[in-house]
Amino acid sequence: MTDSDSSLPASFDIRDYLRTDLFPHFMCVGCGHGIALRCLLTAVHELGISKDELAVVSGIGCSGRIAAYIDANTLHVTHGRPLTFASGLKLARPDLTVVVVTGDGDCLSIGGNHLIHACRRNLDITCLMLNNEVYGMTGGQVSPTTDEGRYTTTTPLGNHEPSFDACSIATAAGASLVGREITFQAPALKNLIVEAISHPGFGFVEVISDCTEIYGRRNDLGSSTEMILSQKSGMRPESYGGALDQPFRPGNWQTGVLSRSDREEYAAAYRRRTRSARPEEQT
């Protein structure tokens, strides 16, 4: 972390990218979503994307509020549909860098259908799924990524459903870059976001965040520092080799770029098809 910041000029101030009048943000004490917000904005700064070229789309939930704090083109849309709105936006305005910020419930249950089809189309969108394993904003209900045995307001006897491996879903559905990182590894998360944004095609990044107030407290996971440190001790970076051969286990996250393919980007293919259908309209 120390000397890797040579790419950051001394003049970089994250407040240039924030709607500072809305701060302090509404998220709870120690919520990892703030770290993800910083990583996203640092990545945008590093890539030299101006605020006019950036469009951030978010749905409903704790993660949905992220877009509101970014001083760029932002859409705060209906529950589960940020990828749908983003697909339309990207097709209409291919010059924009479209980043979707969504949560585990927003992306995998309410918007699960939209996720798999967005992955299948492989549009040049970056999807940041902030996974805190719970529906935080609505009061702590069980989510598709809640680990087995965990207590939530709707599973007072412990969750008995197995959880989703979101990265496997995205890979199987056809996303051309799939990665996962924990918030404690903030510079690595920033690098992963840089890679996903610069990748031509659908980039799916699962960010393992922590919900201290609603989830951690009920499950006795300790303070936010303890939660992010336990994520760190349980992570298995793909670069260590052999990590990807092991089965999915929540809490022991495989991190890094988990899969990559060079499938054709949807918008480019779409434009080629429309041009060939109407050759006289070519300009």
Partner 1 sequence: MSASSRLSDRAIAPQATPTNVLVVGVGGQGVVMVSRVLAKLCERNGLDIKQSEVHGMAKRGGVVFSHVRFGERVYSPTIPEGEADIVLAMEWAEGLRWLPFLKRESGGLIADTQRIVPPFSCRNRKRGALHGYQTMGLEELEEVVARVVAVDATGVASEVGNRRAANTVLLGVLSSMLDFDPSEWREVVAEVVPPKTIEANLLGFERGREWALQETRAELPTPPEPERPTHAADRVELEIVEAWCKGCDICVKVCPERCLELNGSQVAVLRDPAACSGCRVCEWLCPDLAIHVRILPAQEEH
Nearer residue to partner 1 within complex by CB, 35 or 169: 35
Nearer residue to partner 1 within complex by CB, 174 or 216: 216
Which one of 138, 153, 198, 223 is in contact with partner 1 (CB under 8 A)?
223
Which one of 102, 126, 191, 224 is in contact with partner 1 (CB under 8 A)?
224
Q: How far is the CB of 184 from partner 1 (least distance, A)?
A: 7
Q: How far is the CB of 129 from partner 1 (least distance, A)?
A: 18
Q: Do the Cβ atoms of 181 and 192 come closer than 8 Å?
A: yes
The reply on whether position 27 binds partner 1 by CB under 8 A is: yes
Q: How far is the CB of 43 from partner 1 (least distance, A)?
A: 12
Q: What are the backbone dihedrals phi and psi of residue 49, each rounded to the nearest 5 degrees, phi first?
A: -85, 125
Q: How far is the CB of 183 from partner 1 (least distance, A)?
A: 8
The reply on whether position 233 binds partner 1 by CB under 8 A is: no
d(CA 53, CA 149): 44
Closest C-alpha among 34, 29, 12 to residue 101: 34
Q: How far is the CB of 45 from partner 1 (least distance, A)?
A: 13
Task: Please measure the distance between the N-terminal and C-terminal CA atoms of the chain and give it in whole angstroms.
Answer: 49
Closest C-alpha among 15, 147, 149 to residue 71: 15
Q: What are the backbone dihedrals phi and psi of residue 84, each rounded to the nearest 5 degrees, phi first?
A: -65, -50
CA angle at 276 for the pair 270 and 278, rounded to the nearest 5°: 105
Q: Which residues within the stretch 32-51 sit at the binding site for partner 1 (CB under 8 A)?
A: 32-35, 37-39
Q: Strand (E) positions, 173-225?
A: 177-182, 203-208
The residues of the shown chain that bind partner 1, judged by CB under 8 A, are 1-3, 5, 10, 13-15, 18, 23-25, 27-35, 37-39, 183-184, 186-187, 212, 223-225, 228
